[in-house]
């Protein structure tokens, strides 16, 4: 047996995450003594975090940001590093390795961490330029370069890696199609229901899917031009990414005569069939299992380091692990069994299609054997813990699917361990390998006070975010800081958040900006361009008819009632109620455009007409002419009610079920002039064909035979959000009441510059329903407050200015020589 | 700079809103000029061109002695026309004085202002 002499030479084949993690663990144990370490890496880079390649592709991180250990680290720890020089042979008898460069090094102990290779389907065209895998930095650089020059990408493989590749390329502006051999996406991690929800959501984000698609060939002459499927379909592509899976990289081990199967076979002490040769990572097979996720690999690294340091008691056992997908805004969690497999297995599922939520827990003998979560994954770690601990769930079985909080209400005690009861060396962040003690030390020593700071200093929770709850609870236990309770301050002038300020305005009767700034100890006496418009709005909303609007705290557009353009001219958009206009109005617009030489006249997306390029000093005259034809301000420049888009409805359309145009006009007459936290757009569709696109508006009405479906919180901007269904009502009056009450709730409670979509995402549609549906009295009060506020604002600002108000805004100061 | 200055009279301070600005009808080498009034009643004059993308500073929100350009939120100091870090750049600032209740702005003589 090896007695672990003073200085042994450890040669490491592979410079990836598993290899360097083992070396790091070894340094931790022996402080760098006892081993001279030589590392060979095939890639020309230092050790980096492969898991984060998808973040690099998506543009969220740079390659520098995913480096784990710099060259200095290797130097500081006396580790000899040869990058870009793969080992090409091992001689177990003479205990030497030879690298591609011809370099020959002898070893006392050898660690093989050659990882895995991307699988390639056996099809023609693989060697064409424009075809690549998604495995290393070089691949990602190819993909990024390609996204800059080309338009269309096809990703072959709809697993975790393939979908992250697809999303990254989509984020880089390519049109992306995914070809997947199986009937549902990520079938190894998700059951069919969750896989379908995932496909629906990605489809909505513009990724095309070819499910059950078998790729036959990649075609192209000079470079890839497309892929052909077995059923004859052809998908054009300038870039083809192969992400069909990985295979342990075992060539070297095979050539060295080590025992191999699917991977390099190791025993519980991570030794290969040669006792001086260890192996860890994706190249390994342990008890018939191969590994593709990082958590068990960290455990292997730990065992390997202990064994190298002479501790024979450390053994590797594989434990339940979980997966998450790194696509912003898509929450997927999976651990253990995906579905009942044995007769005694049971499944509990919860499904809310409207909210896009799906949860399934698989039970085996009253214990959790697996969980698949989609859309709402916060309980994932709890289920994983119940699995790992083998907790008997029979007492709270009926509450299990609703999560920890609800289950604990029934049992009256903690179920499962929390972060506090984990051992100090427990790994909290799997992606970055950060232990509980590291996080606690960083919080204490560096006085960290927020999740963001913990992320910045320790990298914990900075990758997939799966451990965020654990990190938050450590922050709360160590420093007493509840990260969730912290809301962002309004601006740099204050530490106070929006809600806090709005509450104080009402409760303490603050009626001026100065009063608010005094109470909250503002750093600058008259605030800044961020807080001034916010405070002005909050006061305006809190004290209708009483607070005097401060023009100098409004953004230029709202101050001058027109939209500033990049050349300093303005645009003018008159209101067209419900999108209706008349020959007289159109004539007036045409006359104005000619009279004032307005260069551009454009129809807007909100069914109105935009006059662009108006000189500022012409604005009052333009408005006066428009007023004469009955046209008033469309508030296209404001955080205010913009448009109410309608279709023609039952008056003309053979499908129309109600008078959508008429209802749209009524809604616009009700709501126009209202100032809101951000712009507000409405629409009314006369039937579920939804020609007015009501389901991506802040508030939409979809008419049906039985009445009116009111939907809220939609957005067609950068992040498209489909509305949530609020309520179905049968009469127009009810639509008006709900709309007014909804707008008032938004006006009173959203943060300034927060659209309804993120607001609802923040507070939850359930809360909005509770305020507007369950609390009918509250709804009527909201509506009454809305009408009261409206009584002060529904006068045309253009008419006032055409008649001479705020004259200084529209003229220059005369000057004369002294 | 101690070069010669030609003063122009732009009238009463009341013509300029508190925490507001007015553009002048005068230009300097074709570039617009504006007068700014802070919350504590100090007056500053600048070439009304943001060093970033030429936005009209006189349309910005004024707080303390800085103005925020309405186009891309650069903050420009009213006293010397310099951008507040991290942004870099500046616009020309002009002397201002009060005489007989009127506001006077000084234009550099040799540059030939056109009224």
Cβ of residue B10 closer than 8 Å to a chain A Cβ: yes
Region A60-79: mean pLDDT is 87
**From CA A319, how far away is CA A257, in angstroms rounded?**
30
Pick the CATH number of A421-485 from 1.10.3210.10, 3.30.450.20, 1.10.10.1100, 1.10.1030.10: 1.10.10.1100
Over range A376-392, report the average pLDDT.
Answer: 86
Fold of the A131-244 domain:
FAD/NAD(P)-binding domain (3.50.50)
Decide if B12 touches A, using CB distance below 8 A: no
CATH 3.30.390.30 fits domain A331-416: yes
A526–B11 CB contact, under 8 Å? no
Which among B22, B56, B68 has CB closest to A813?
B22
Homologous superfamily of A8-116+248-308: FAD/NAD(P)-binding domain (3.50.50.60)
B102 CB burial (10 A radius; 0-12, 13-18, 19+): middle
- List Cβ neighbours of A801 (8 Å cut-off, separation of 6 or more): A561, A619, A620, A623, A809, A810
What is the helix (H) or strand (E) element at residue A341, kind and residue range?
A: none
Residue B114 lies in a domain: no
Q: What is the per-residue pLDDT for A418? A: 63
- Residues B81, B89: Cα–Cα separation, whole Å: 9
User: A265-308: per-residue pLDDT in tens?
Assistant: 999 999 999 999 999 999 999 999 999 888 889 889 999 999 99
Cα-to-chain-centroid distance, residue A558: 32
Q: What is the largest CA-CA distance in chain A?
A: 102
Residue pair A750/A767 in contact (Cβ under 8 Å)? The answer is: no
Domain boundaries, chain A: 8-116+248-308, 131-244, 331-416, 421-485, 498-554, 559-797
What is the residue-averaged pLDDT of chain A? Answer: 91
Task: Give pLDDT tens digits for A569-599.
Answer: 999 999 999 999 999 999 999 999 999 999 9
pLDDT over 50 (residue A63): yes
pLDDT (0 to 100) of residue A417: 62
**Does B86 fall in a domain?**
yes
Cβ(A714)–Cβ(A695) under 8 Å?
yes
Task: Walk across the sheet containing A289-290 and list its strands.
Answer: A264-266, A284-286, A289-290
- pLDDT score, position A421: 67
Domain boundaries, position B102: 5-107
Considering Cα of A51, then A55, then A56, then A62, what sign does the dihedral take?
A: negative
State the ipTM, two decimals.
0.90
* Domains identified in chain B, total number: 1
Q: By a Cβ cutoff of 8 Å, what residues of chain A touch chain B?
A: 524-529, 532-533, 551-553, 555-556, 559-560, 564, 566, 568, 808, 812-818
Contact list, B68 vs chain A (CB under 8 Å)? 528-529
Q: What is the CATH number of the domain that holds B29?
A: 2.102.10.10
What HEC string does chain B produce?
Answer: CCCCEEEEEEEEHHHCCCCEEEEEEEEECCEEEEEEECCCCCEEEEECCCCCCCCCHHHCEEECCEEECCCCCCEEECCCCEECCCCCCECCEECEEEECCEEEEEEECCCCCEC
Q: Which residue of A has its CA nearest to B59?
A: A556
d(CA A634, CA A642): 7
Most confident region among A119-123, A286-290, A398-402, A681-685 by mean pLDDT: A681-685
- The yes-or-no verdict on residue A426 having pLDDT over 50 is yes
Q: Does B16 touch chain A (CB under 8 A)?
A: yes
Interface contacts (A, B; CB < 8 Å)? 88
> Are residues B17 and A529, on separate chains, in Cβ contact within 8 Å?
no
User: Quick check: is B50 in a domain?
Assistant: yes
Residues A214-240 have pLDDT tens digits of 999 999 999 999 999 999 999 999 999
Of residues A527, A808, A812, nearest to B25 (C-beta): A812
pLDDT band at A485 (very low <50, low <70, confident <90, very high): low
Sign of torsion over alpha carbons B23, B25, B29, B35? negative
- Phi (first) and psi of residue B35, to 5 degrees: -110, 135
pTM of this prediction exceeds 0.80? no
Q: What is the pLDDT of residue A407?
A: 84
**Angle at which helices A436-445 and A451-458 cross, to 10°:** 110
**Portion 77-96 of B in contact with A at CB < 8 A:** none
Please answer yes or no on whether A815 and B9 come within 8 Å at the CB atom: yes
Q: Tell me: pLDDT of A159 over 60.
A: yes
* pLDDT tops 90 at residue A17: yes
With CB atoms and an 8 Å threshold, state whether A817 touches B19. Answer: no
Mutation test of the interface with chain B: which of A493, A524, A568, choosing the one with the most B Cβ atoms within 10 A?
A568
pLDDT of residue A392: 92
Report percent pLDDT > 90 for chain A. Answer: 67
Cα dihedral value A233, A238, A239, A240, nearest 10: 20
pLDDT of residue A664: 97
Superfamily of domain A559-797 in the CATH hierarchy: Sulfite Reductase Hemoprotein, domain 1 (3.30.413.10)
Q: Which residues of B touch A818 (CB under 8 A)?
A: 7-9, 99, 104
Q: Is the pLDDT of residue A3 over 90?
A: no
Contacts of B16 in chain A (CB under 8 A): 808, 813
| Contact flag A552-B61 (C-beta cutoff 8 Å) | yes
Does A556 contact B19 at a Cβ distance shorter than 8 Å?
A: no
pLDDT tens-digit readout, A758-783? 999 888 888 999 999 999 999 999 99
Give the integer Cα–Cα distance in Å for A279 and A281: 7
Residue B24 confidence (pLDDT)? 95
Does the residue B51 lie in any domain?
yes
Q: Do domains A8-116+248-308 and A131-244 have the same CATH topology?
A: yes
> A552: which chain B residues are within 8 Å (Cβ-Cβ)?
17-20, 61-62
**Measuring CA to CA, how many Å separate A630 from each of A195, A577, A584, A625?**
55, 11, 9, 9
Domain assignment present for B76:
yes
Lowest mean pLDDT among A49-58, A325-334, A375-384, A797-806: A325-334
Give the tens place of pLDDT for each residue, B66-79: 999 998 889 999 99
Mean pLDDT over residues B19-25, rounded? 95
Q: What is the mean pLDDT of residues B19-23?
A: 95
Q: Do A813 and B10 touch (CB under 8 A)?
A: yes
Identify the pLDDT of residue A775.
92
Q: Which of the two residues, A646 and A426, has the higher pLDDT score?
A: A646
Q: Which residues of B touch A527 (CB under 8 A)?
A: 63
Q: How many residues would you count in chain B?
A: 115
Asked if A815 lies within 8 A of B26 by C-beta distance, the reply is yes
In this predicted structure, the answer to whether residue A2 has a pLDDT above a threshold of 50 is no
Per the CB < 8 A criterion, the answer to whether A241 and A155 are in contact is yes
Q: How confident is the model at residue A691 (pLDDT cuts 50, 70, 90)?
A: very high
Q: Residue B3: pLDDT band by 50, 70, 90 thresholds? A: low
pLDDT of A7 higher than 80: no
């Amino acid at each position: 047996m090896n007695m672990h002499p003073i200085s042994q030479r450890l040669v490491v084949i592979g410079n990836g995450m598993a290899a360097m993690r083992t070396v790091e663990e070894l340094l931790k144990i022996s402080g760098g003594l006892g081993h001279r370490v030589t590392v060979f890496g095939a890639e020309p880079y230092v050790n980096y975090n492969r898991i984060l390649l998808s973040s690099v592709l998506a543009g969220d991180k740079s390659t520098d940001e995913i480096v784990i250990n710099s060259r200095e680290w290797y130097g500081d720890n006396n580790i000899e590093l040869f990058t870009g020089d793969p080992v090409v042979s091992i001689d177990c008898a003479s205990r030497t390795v030879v690298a591609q460069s011809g370099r020959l090094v002898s070893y006392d102990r050898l660690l093989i961490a050659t990882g895995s290779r991307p699988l390639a389907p056996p099809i023609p065209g693989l060697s064409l330029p424009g075809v690549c895998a998604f495995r290393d930095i070089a691949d990602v650089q190819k993909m990024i370069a390609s996204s800059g020059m080309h338009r269309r990408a096809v990703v072959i493989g709809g697993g975790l890696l393939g979908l992250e590749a697809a999303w990254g390329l989509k984020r880089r502006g390519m049109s992306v199609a995914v070809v997947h051999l199986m009937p549902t996406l990520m079938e190894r991690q998700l059951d069919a229901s969750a896989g379908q929800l995932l496909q629906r959501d990605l489809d909505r984000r513009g990724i095309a899917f070819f499910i059950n698609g078998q790729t036959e060939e990649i075609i192209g002459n000079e470079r890839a031009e497309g892929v052909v499927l077995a059923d004859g379909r052809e998908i054009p592509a300038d870039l083809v990414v192969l992400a069909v899976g990985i295979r342990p990289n075992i060539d070297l081990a095979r050539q060295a005569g080590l025992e191999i199967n699917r991977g390099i076979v190791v025993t519980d002490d991570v030794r290969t069939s040669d006792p001086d040769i260890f192996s860890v990572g994706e190249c390994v097979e342990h008890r018939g299992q191969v590994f593709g996720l990082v958590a068990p690999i960290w455990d292997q690294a730990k065992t390997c380091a202990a064994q190298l340091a002479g501790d024979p008691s450390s053994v590797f056992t594989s434990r339940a692990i979980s997966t998450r997908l790194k696509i912003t805004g898509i929450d997927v969690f999976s651990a253990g069994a995906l579905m009942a497999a044995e007769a005694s297995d049971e499944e509990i599922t919860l499904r809310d299609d409207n909210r896009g939520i799906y949860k399934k827990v698989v039970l085996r003998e009253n214990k959790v054997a697996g969980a698949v979560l989609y859309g709402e994954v916060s309980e994932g770690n709890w289920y994983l813990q119940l699995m790992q601990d083998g907790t008997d769930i029979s007492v709270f079985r009926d509450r299990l699917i609703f999560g920890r909080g609800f289950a604990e209400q029934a049992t009256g005690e903690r179920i499962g361990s929390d972060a506090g009861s984990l051992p100090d060396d427990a790994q909290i962040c799997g992606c970055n390998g950060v232990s509980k003690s590291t996080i606690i030390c960083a919080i204490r020593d560096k006085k960290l006070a927020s999740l963001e700071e913990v992320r910045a200093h320790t990298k914990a929770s900075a990758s997939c975010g799966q451990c965020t709850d654990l990190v938050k609870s450590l922050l709360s236990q160590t420093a007493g800081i509840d990260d969730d309770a912290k809301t962002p301050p309004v601006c740099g002038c204050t530490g106070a958040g929006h809600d806090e300020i709005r509450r104080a305005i009402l409760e303490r009767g603050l009626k001026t900006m100065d009063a608010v700034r005094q109470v909250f100890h503002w750093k600058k006496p008259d605030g800044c361009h961020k807080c001034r418009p916010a405070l002005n709005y909050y006061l305006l909303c809190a004290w209708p008819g009483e607070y005097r609007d401060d023009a100098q705290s409004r953004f230029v557009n709202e101050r001058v009632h027109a939209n500033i353009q990049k050349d300093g001219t303005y645009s003018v958009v008159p209101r067209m109620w419900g999108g209706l206009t008349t020959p007289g109005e159109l004539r007036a617009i045409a006359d104005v455009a000619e009279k004032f030489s307005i260069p551009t006249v454009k129809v807007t997306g909100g069914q109105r007409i935009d006059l662009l390029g108006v000189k500022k000093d012409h604005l009052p005259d333009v408005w006066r002419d428009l007023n004469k034809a009955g046209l008033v301000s469309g508030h296209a420049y404001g955080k205010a009610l913009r448009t109410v888009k309608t279709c023609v409805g039952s008056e003309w359309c053979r499908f129309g079920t109600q008078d959508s145009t008429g209802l749209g006009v009524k809604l616009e007459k009700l709501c126009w002039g209202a100032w809101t936290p951000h712009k507000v757009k409405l629409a009314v569709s006369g039937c579920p064909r939804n020609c007015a696109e009501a389901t991506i508006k802040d508030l939409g009405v979809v008419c049906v035979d039985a009445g009116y479906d009111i939907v809220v919180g939609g957005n067609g901007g950068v992040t498209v959000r489909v509305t949530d269904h609020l309520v179905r009502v049968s009469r127009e009056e009810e639509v008006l009441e709900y709309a007014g009450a909804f707008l008032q709730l938004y006006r009173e409670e959203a943060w300034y510059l927060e659209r309804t979509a993120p607001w609802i995402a923040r507070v939850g549609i359930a809360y909005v329903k509770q305020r507007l549906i369950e609390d009918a009295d509250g709804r009527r009060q909201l509506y009454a407050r809305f009408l009261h506020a409206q009584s002060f604002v529904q006068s045309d600002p253009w008419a006032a200015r055409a008649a001479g108000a705020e004259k200084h805004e529209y003229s220059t100061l005369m000057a004369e020589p002294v | 700079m101690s070069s010669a200055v030609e003063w122009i009279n732009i009238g009463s301070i009341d013509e300029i809103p508190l925490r507001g600005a007015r553009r002048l009808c005068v230009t300097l080498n074709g570039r617009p000029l504006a007068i700014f009034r802070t919350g504590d009643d100090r007056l500053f004059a600048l070439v009304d061109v943001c060093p970033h993308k030429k936005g009209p500073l006189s349309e910005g929100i004024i707080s303390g002695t800085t103005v925020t350009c309405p186009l891309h939120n650069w903050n420009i100091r009213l006293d010397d026309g310099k951008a507040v870090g991290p942004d870099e750049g500046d616009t020309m600032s002009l002397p201002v004085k009060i005489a007989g209740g009127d506001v006077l702005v000084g234009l550099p003589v040799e540059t030939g202002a056109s009224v």
